[in-house]
Amino acid sequence: MSVNLSSHQISQPNLVEEIDEILQATDCKPNCLKLEITETVIMENVILATTVLNQLKNRNIKLSIDDFGTGYSSLSYLHQFPINSLKIDRSFVSPLDSDVTGQSLKIVSAITALAHNLGLDIVAEGIETQEQMQQLKQLKCEKGQGYLFSKPVDSYQATKLLHNFNYHQILHL
């Protein structure tokens, strides 16, 4: 399960304890939770964000930088954050099937290579077409989300979707 963290939430002094309580109350294992935070939120207070992210990582909670490429962080900070994955922003994925200059493809390729070189998982946001998915597969982008797979759903629909999900079919899209 992935949950976004806002700048307000990350600045709460009891955030880590609240997450511990929620995990315990829901009987959710920490490694089944992925917290997503944008570059912009991290850059608002790098020291605080790094401290909180380290505490969460020590609990085996997965961490991801969301909307990667749209914020203002320096690449020099990237190796300092205890993250597991990068999520490529949809603004780079959407034009893949119509980008005559190839700029979006070059940016996505560079982000994917960067993630792989740093040992991070990579997730593409906003996949809407087969062509986008095929290009991402060629770039070794392992994971994706978007309307091609499902529109946003509530918890009941998500449970139903998971029960009926055909992994084999997705692999052969």
Per-residue pLDDT at 73: 66
Question: Structural domains in the chain?
Answer: 2-171 (3.20.20.450)
pLDDT at 84 over 60: yes
For 101-115, the pLDDT digits (tens) are 889 999 999 999 999
pLDDT in tens, 123-151: 999 999 999 999 999 999 989 999 998 88
Class of residue 109 by CB neighbours under 10 A (exposed 0-12, middle 13-18, buried 19+): middle
- 22-26, 30-34, 94-98, 160-164: least confidently modelled range: 160-164
78: pLDDT confidence band, cut at 50, 70 and 90? Answer: confident
Q: Which residues of 63-93 are buried (b: 16+ CB within 10 A; e: fewer)?
A: bbbbbbbeeebeeeebeebebbbbbbbbebb
- The confidence score (pLDDT) of residue 69 equals 82
Residue bearing the bigger pLDDT, 163 or 122: 122
Q: What is the pLDDT of residue 151?
A: 87
- Token duo for residue 2: 């992935």
Is the model's pLDDT at 62 over the cut of 90?
A: yes
Grouping H, G, I as helix, E, B as strand and the rest as coil, residue 10 is: helix
- Which pLDDT score is estimated for 80? 83
pLDDT in the model for residue 172 = 47
